[in-house]
Amino acid sequence: MSEKSSENLIELDTSESIWESFFTVFPLVVIGTREADGSDDLAPKHLAMPMSWNNHFGFVCTPRHNTYQNIQRDGEFSVTYMRPSQTVLASLAATPRCDDGSKPITQALPTFAAEKVNAPLVQDGYLFLECELQQIIDDLGDNSLILGRIIAARVAEDAMRLSGQDDEDLIFTSPLLAYLYPGRFTEIANTTKLPFPAGFKR
């Protein structure tokens, strides 16, 4: 790195969280679980992604949340990838609980039942995953990483990649929702193919 460019770098204090000092790009998904009383629990998450090239999915949660406790008890959860038009719905799912621990807004969100796990999914998303708990990694500060094995998956017809179809056109007609932490979002519709080097393999 040149001396000039290094002078433009700002040192961050790693004794506290660095992630509020700049923007980073994440998905925005809603994790579905079942409460002990049988009611739905829906919680938006952005620290969420595939955990391997195989069918594994993980997300960051905290043991204080019902989502963590429900998954620890029942060993299963669902994942809905939300569309840009559903940003408000995803935000509403983050509404704090009432003093009695209930979360009435959850009952107002449009859902349908997963097929292989006992958990709700949010209607009109574009990707739906049903997962069995594989592992919980605790003590990541105040957080935990929840790892699941995907046992069922469905994708909306308008979001499915097909041979002979241009990926750029697919994303343009069915835009993706991106969460820009902290506190912003955008719709991804215009994309360009990444110029991988010749012979590149994952």
Query: How high is the mean pLDDT of the chain?
Result: 91
Q: Which single residue is written with the structure tokens 């999914």?
A: 121
| Residue 97 confidence (pLDDT) above 70 | no
| Residue 5 confidence (pLDDT) above 70 | no
Phi, psi of 7 (to 5 degrees): -70, -20
End-to-end C-alpha distance for the chain, whole angstroms: 28
At 3 the pLDDT is 57
At 2 the pLDDT is 54
**Mean pLDDT, residues 86-109:** 73
At 202 the pLDDT is 74
| Residue 164 confidence (pLDDT) above 70 | yes
Give pTM, 2 decimals. 0.90
Is pLDDT larger for residue 46 or for residue 2?
Answer: 46
Q: What is the pLDDT of residues 102-138, one digit of tens each?
A: 666 767 789 999 999 999 999 999 999 999 999 999 9
Which residues are CB-contacts of 40 (< 8 A; sequence separation ≥ 6)? 32, 34, 106, 107, 109, 111, 120
User: For the chain, which residues make up each domain, given as ranges?
Assistant: 23-188
Looking at CATH, the fold of the domain delimited by 23-188 is given as Pnp Oxidase; Chain A (2.30.110)
Strands (E), 36-109: 40-45, 48-50, 56-61, 76-81
Q: How confident is the model at residue 13 (pLDDT cuts 50, 70, 90)?
A: very high
At 170 the pLDDT is 96
Q: What is the pLDDT of residues 26-42, one digit of tens each?
A: 999 999 999 999 999 99
